[in-house]
Amino acid sequence: MGRAPCCDENGLKKGPWTPEEDLKLTNYIQIHGPGNWRSLPKNAGLRRCGKSCRLRWTNYLRPDIKRGRFSLEEEDVIIQLHSILGNKWSAIAARLPGRTDNEIKNYWNTHIRKRLLRMGIDPVTHTPRLDLLDMSSILRSMLGNPSLLNMQGLLGAQVLMNQGLLKLASTASLLSTINNDENPNLASQNFVHSQVATTPPSLDSTQFQFQMPTNQTNNVEVEGFLGTVTNLSCSSSPSGDDKINLVLQQKNQVDLLGNHDVLVHSLYNAKNQNMGCDSVMRTPVSSPNRLNSSSNYVKSGTEEERESFCSDLFEFEIPESLDFADIFCNVPYTPIN
DNA sequence: AACGTCCTCAACCGCTGTAGA
DNA sequence: ATCTACAGCGGTTGAGGACGT
């Protein structure tokens, strides 16, 4: 006998709940408590299926539900937990008192996901999008100072490394380029070192796993990045709960999105210091509210400001004279040993 | 004011996991 | 071991409000 759909009975109402229905449901649950959803609507005098009643209660009528906009704090937690748990909305909701999985899911899909996309961050992997970032950084590195980046090594590494590391490497190379183009004394290179090196190994070990033979681990030749590669590849892999706890504990120190934001911050500072990356960034500098001075995060007063800044960041121009075929087709592949 | 488009979010749908018979 | 009922989960939908023309 197959399972009968819970809502196919005649006369059962669907759609938005009326205040009267809410009242009936609330009154019934206050007296009898939640549960036994199958029989609840009949006993409560509701022409709804049990599933609809349960959803209405858990997502809307429950007294401990917190309504209203998500705070920045909550938003941070959602992003960090999502980077670990993925679309496990109920698990995320369990760590956000007063918020329902449905609410978090909606907020993710309508706000956070879009913002991450505009920032050039893949909302699934929580890493910079290769299609937006890597090309700009690689090209910039090559155009600005071809000797800076060992392209042959990088292309060789691309075969061996997963995308996440390559993205970080390209980001590092971009910063190195900015740094070396006009002001080699500034500390962006070290900054990248410290930021990557201090990334908690707990965040998501899968993002940093190499697919390379063990004897090649130390030979990713991206200037300013070499030293930290080994650290990441050797990181331990805590259990899921340990990861969550670690991330929450370290929330105010360094987090995954924070790293992206810090990178953005660094790029923004570099821009303000006339470090010669105009073709990479056309970020307007007039807004006094671009960065919160007390935070590493690019979290200015309004969502719009945050989004516009981050979307501007990845605008770049490709010189017409650049011949992609020449660059990418004539580089012989040599495995790194 | 009227219309069209976009955005938000409550609610639904379909599936999975699990307990109990 | 199998079947059934039920709760819960994640994905999707669509009504209605906001906004732009």
Task: Please provide residue A74's backbone torsions phi and psi, each rounded to the nearest 5 degrees.
Answer: -65, -40
**Which is nearest to A292 in space by CA: A248, A261, A254?**
A261
A215 strand B contact, CB < 7 Å:
no
Q: Do domains A10-62 and A67-132 have the same CATH topology?
A: yes
Model pLDDT, residue A39: 83
Instruction: Please identify residues in chain A, positions 86-105, with a C-beta within 7 angstroms of any atom of strand B.
Output: 102-103, 105
Does strand C come within 7 Å of the CB of A106? yes
Q: What is the CATH number of domain A10-62?
A: 1.10.10.60
From the Cβ of A16, is strand B under 7 Å away? Answer: yes
SS3 content of chain A, % helix, strand, coil (to 5): 55, 0, 45
Question: Mind listing the pLDDT tens digit for each residue in A3-50?
Answer: 333 444 456 888 889 888 888 888 888 888 887 888 888 888 888 888
Q: What is the mean pLDDT of residues A63-86?
A: 86
pLDDT tens digits along A178-200: 333 333 333 333 333 333 333 33
The tokens describing A64, both together, are 């401990």
**What would the CATH number be for the domain defined by A67-132?**
1.10.10.60
Residue A295 burial (C-beta neighbours within 10 Å; 0-12, 13-18, 19+): middle
pLDDT at A296 over 60: no
Q: What is the pLDDT of residues A116-170, one digit of tens each?
A: 888 888 888 888 766 655 555 555 555 555 444 444 334 333 333 344 444 444 4
Task: Show which positions of strand C are touched by protein (CB under 7 A).
Answer: 3-12, 15-16
Residues A237, A248: Cα–Cα separation, whole Å: 16
Residue nearest to nucleotide B11 (CA to C1'): A15
Residue nearest to nucleotide B8 (CA to C1'): A110
Token couple for A55: 């959803």
For residues A222 and A172, give the distance between their C-alpha atoms in angstroms, rounded to a whole number: 8
As a whole number of angstroms, the distance between CA A113 and CA A297 comes to 17
**In the structure, what pLDDT confidence band is assigned to residue A96 with cuts at 50, 70 and 90?**
confident
Most confident of A109-118, A189-198, A281-290, A321-330: A109-118
Average pLDDT of chain A is: 56
The helix/strand/coil state of A172 is helix
Spell out the domain ranges in chain A.
Answer: 10-62, 67-132
**Contact predicate A143/A322, CB 8 Å:** yes
